[in-house]
Amino acid sequence: MWPTQSHFLSHTSDSPMYINRTFHLALPNLAINGLEVPPAQFLPPLRSSSAPANDPSSGLKYLNGGSNSQQASEPVVVFEPFDNRKRVRVEDLCREEEDLLRDIALLKHKIPTTAASRFSGSATEGLKLDDKALDSYLSNIIQAATSSVSHNAGGSESASQNGGPKATGKAGPTVDVKPLPRQDDTEQTFGDAVNGLSRLTKVMPATVAKMDRARLAGETKTPPTHADGMAISRQARFDARRQRKWIQREQSRRLGVLKGRWILDSEWRQIGR
């Protein structure tokens, strides 16, 4: 039976609504120039009366803002037209960012070496200046001591010629020795370094012992097992080791001699650990 004209018109009357629903469902998956396309801006809202109750497109009216009055109250988002100059500017900025990152990577390799060389040069120059200051300071002290000795010798000779008391030679020359520049800071820094080394020597053995125990624990791959394949617990291994040591201690006690000499109480305690 061929379809009549009325039957054809009844099916084609729903075509606009079908197209509307199709684009409403397709627009969330489309993008124009990388931007999302809101259905409410380009398509009329869906009518709930035309869609069946089980149609998934019937719920789009809530996503699109509900009624027409609500859509009219909401601000309309207007997108700026595509500008090729801004796209070129974005590409230039991305290229500039890559160049800056490359320069930063090069500086990370160069700066530590340059800073170390500069610090080494400044430290060497400072040591040279300190040596020069120390030499001049010592020369001034020696010169002052020499002048004081010569002055005391001349005074003793003049006193002996005038019949005065002779110098006994017990009192030495008096020289006014001034402290060195930055002497307090240097002494404090050296004292802090010595105290730090002393603390390090006290803490280092315990730290090394912990590292050794951790290394031995890490080297242990699988725990020992029974003949039936069940793993032995740590407490069971500890109890078995204590039992073996107790048996060895009793055997040594019965013999009364350990390595050719009598066993002391301290050795019994060490064996029992």
Question: Which tens digit of pLDDT belongs to each residue from 218-245?
Answer: 766 555 555 554 455 666 777 777 777 7
> What is each CA distance from 116 to 79, 104, 107, in whole angstroms?
55, 18, 14
Q: List Cβ neighbours of 23 (8 Å cut-off, separation of 6 or more).
A: 39, 42, 43
Lookup result for tokens 């053995």: 205
- Measured between alpha carbons, how far is 273 from 268 in angstroms, rounded to an integer? 9
Of the segments 54-58, 143-147, 188-192, 259-263, which one has the largest average pLDDT value? 188-192
Q: Is residue 158 part of a domain?
A: no
pLDDT level of residue 26 (50, 70, 90 thresholds): confident
Q: What pLDDT does 100 receive?
A: 95
Q: What pLDDT does 1 receive?
A: 47
- Measured between alpha carbons, how far is 166 from 145 in angstroms, rounded to an integer? 21
Domain final residue pick, 73, 96, 116: 73
Which residue range is the domain that position 131 belongs to? 83-149
Domain final residue pick, 40, 73, 106: 73
- Measured between alpha carbons, how far is 220 from 213 in angstroms, rounded to an integer? 11
Q: Please indicate, yes or no, whether residues 34 and 67 belong to a single structural domain of this protein.
A: yes
Q: Is residue 97 part of a domain?
A: yes
In percent, the amount of the chain with pLDDT more than 90 equals: 12
Q: Is residue 164 part of a domain?
A: no
Q: Residues 14, 50: contact at Cβ < 8 Å?
A: yes
Q: Residues 268, 252: contact at Cβ < 8 Å?
A: no
- Measured between alpha carbons, how far is 94 from 141 in angstroms, rounded to an integer? 68
Of the segments 45-54, 60-69, 179-188, 215-224, which one has the largest average pLDDT value? 179-188
Lookup result for tokens 């120059």: 125
Domain final residue pick, 73, 105, 125: 73
Q: Please indicate, yes or no, whether residues 266 and 204 belong to a single structural domain of this protein.
A: yes
Q: Please indicate, yes or no, whether residues 225 and 268 belong to a single structural domain of this protein.
A: yes
Q: Please indicate, yes or no, whether residues 97 and 69 belong to a single structural domain of this protein.
A: no
Q: Please indicate, yes or no, whether residues 216 and 265 belong to a single structural domain of this protein.
A: yes
Q: What pLDDT does 138 receive?
A: 85
Q: Is residue 41 part of a domain?
A: yes
- Among 19-23, 53-57, 84-88, 91-95, which stretch is predicted with the lowest mean pLDDT? 53-57
Q: Is residue 181 part of a domain?
A: no
Q: What pLDDT does 259 receive?
A: 47
pLDDT digits (tens, 9 = 90+) for 139-154: 888 888 787 777 666 5
pTM beyond 0.75: the answer is no
State the total domains in the chain: 3
Q: Is residue 120 part of a domain?
A: yes
Q: Please indicate, yes or no, whether residues 217 and 250 belong to a single structural domain of this protein.
A: yes
